[in-house]
Structure 1
Amino acid sequence: MKMSAGTPFQFLDQDLLLLPQKAIYWAQQNALIVTDVHFGKVGHFRKAGIAIPRNMEQDDLAMLSDLIYEHRPEKLIFLGDLFHSDMNNDWDWFVLWRSQFPKLEIILIKGNHDIISDKHYTNLGIVLHKRLVMGPFLMLHHPLPDPETKDEDGYVLCGHIHPGVSLVGRGRQKVTLPCFAFGKHQAILPSFGKFTGKVAILSRKADKVFGVLTDKVIAIS
């Protein structure tokens, strides 16, 4: 099934495709980049006795599969918070999903929620990093402490804060969209997972902001 087209964005001499599924396809590395998937969050709440529809997790895995079949990447890069908490039954779904793509290189930049023992990831052939330099980019989970200060290792791609941008219509209708926010020294990606809570409105002006709609990504600034 053909998926929605993304918005091409050439940045630092790299060809990026900003996708409405809240992911980036990076042509030069033939890589998909996503952040803040939070697999296991449904299982975490259900384990605590809170009724949450289980298919939320499966929907996110299905979306990842669709992106892989569409773009045929060699690499899948998670910018942290891949699994939400400690081990629960949702891990079995993730193991099954991983078995469908045995040749896909998967890289995880560990986030604050990635507390499961490293051996569970390495057993699935997932490579772990705290920070990783690829081309002109430095892959992190947390944004820079000071967005005005550049990291010497490269331009930062990160997640963590689930960024959003607020738009006001002619009739004063207000909507908050997930967004890709490219600043002077870092870009913050929107959270991929459906069950990740509300987005945080950007508190600092970014040089380029792209809002995410259901079927397209639009340039806002």
Structure 2
Amino acid sequence: MICDRLVFPFLDQTLLLLCQKAIYWEEEKALIAADVHLGKGGHFRKAGIAVPRELAQDDLAVLSDLIREHHPEKLIFLGDLFHSDINTDWDWFALWREQFPKLEIILIRGNHDVIHDSHYQQLHISLHEQMQIGPFLMLHHPLPPLKLEQASGYVLCGHIHPGVLLRGRGRQSITLPCFAFADKQAILPSFGRFTGRVAIQHQQTDQVFGVLSDKVVRV
């Protein structure tokens, strides 16, 4: 699938907002994604709920395509990389990791990242509660206003699975996943296919970009 990217100059950096719901940061040669939720399908299957086995493999295939297209030196996950305890989807993830042995992978720990650190370390993935890179402070949870005022950089985060509600002239409406850039922090859309989205309140000064199947649009 041909997928246009939107070039977004921001804080003297060049961010490519991708319709695969990730960001490629040119200056840092970094691919950034939030809320992949690998293993969520396996978690539901263990509970007896029929969920296709291909979901995790599909998300990993999209990551592979992005890596081959942009050639990042590092891949940064903004939390909730794996949804639950280890299940069969972890085996697919471990096999996927072997394809990119030279790629630095960083996980900013999220509330669903409950697997013991040693499993990530075996795959040469570094874990952090937060990380400052250039002008950006990488987190999982968005910061409340008071903490945001004290933050050391502009926050990039996830967790919310943000969406923007668009209404047509009739009664039609659709909620698109979106990148939401406010004054001091941006919330990325959830990368994983097996995730929902929530329409969030936006300020007039926010820069919001809706994600369609083939492009990213300013809304």
The TM tier, using the shorter chain, reads over 0.9
The 5 A counterparts of 1:20-169 are 20-146=19-145, 149-169=148-168
Once the two structures are TM-superposed, the CA of residue 170 in structure 1 deviates from its matched residue by: 1.8
| Residues 6-33 of structure 1 deviation map (CA, whole Å, 9 limit, x = unaligned) | 0000000000000000000000100100
Instruction: Structure 1: state its 5+ residue gaps.
Output: none
Q: Which AA in structure 1 matches 2:200? A: L
Q: Which AA in structure 1 matches 2:3? A: S
3-state SS of paired residue (1:103): coil
| Residues 152-204 of structure 1 deviation map (CA, whole Å, 9 limit, x = unaligned) | 310000000000000011223100000000001100000000001x2111124
Once the two structures are TM-superposed, the CA of residue 104 in structure 1 deviates from its matched residue by: 0.3
Distance 2:181 2:147 in 1: 13
Once the two structures are TM-superposed, the CA of residue 207 in structure 1 deviates from its matched residue by: 1.3
Farther-moved stretch of structure 1 (164-173 vs 132-141): 164-173
- Residue matched to 1:5: 4
Distance 1:30 1:52 in 2: 35
- Residue matched to 2:217: 218
Give the TM-score taking structure 2 as reference length.
Answer: 0.97
3-state SS of paired residue (1:203): coil
Task: Kindly report structure 1 stretches of 4+ aligned residues shifted beyond 6 Å.
Answer: none
Distance 1:106 1:148 in 2: 27
Instruction: Structure 2: state its 5+ residue gaps.
Output: none
- Residue matched to 2:187: 188
Distance 1:172 1:9 in 2: 32
3-state SS of paired residue (1:166): strand
- Residue matched to 2:200: 202
Once the two structures are TM-superposed, the CA of residue 5 in structure 1 deviates from its matched residue by: 2.1
Distance 1:4 1:62 in 2: 15
Q: What is the aligned-residue RMSD (CA, Å)?
A: 1.3
Give the TM-score taking structure 1 as reference length.
Answer: 0.96
8 Å contact from structure 1 (residues 3, 70) kept in 2: no
3-state SS of paired residue (2:58): helix
Quote the sequence identity (%): 67
Once the two structures are TM-superposed, the CA of residue 82 in structure 1 deviates from its matched residue by: 0.1
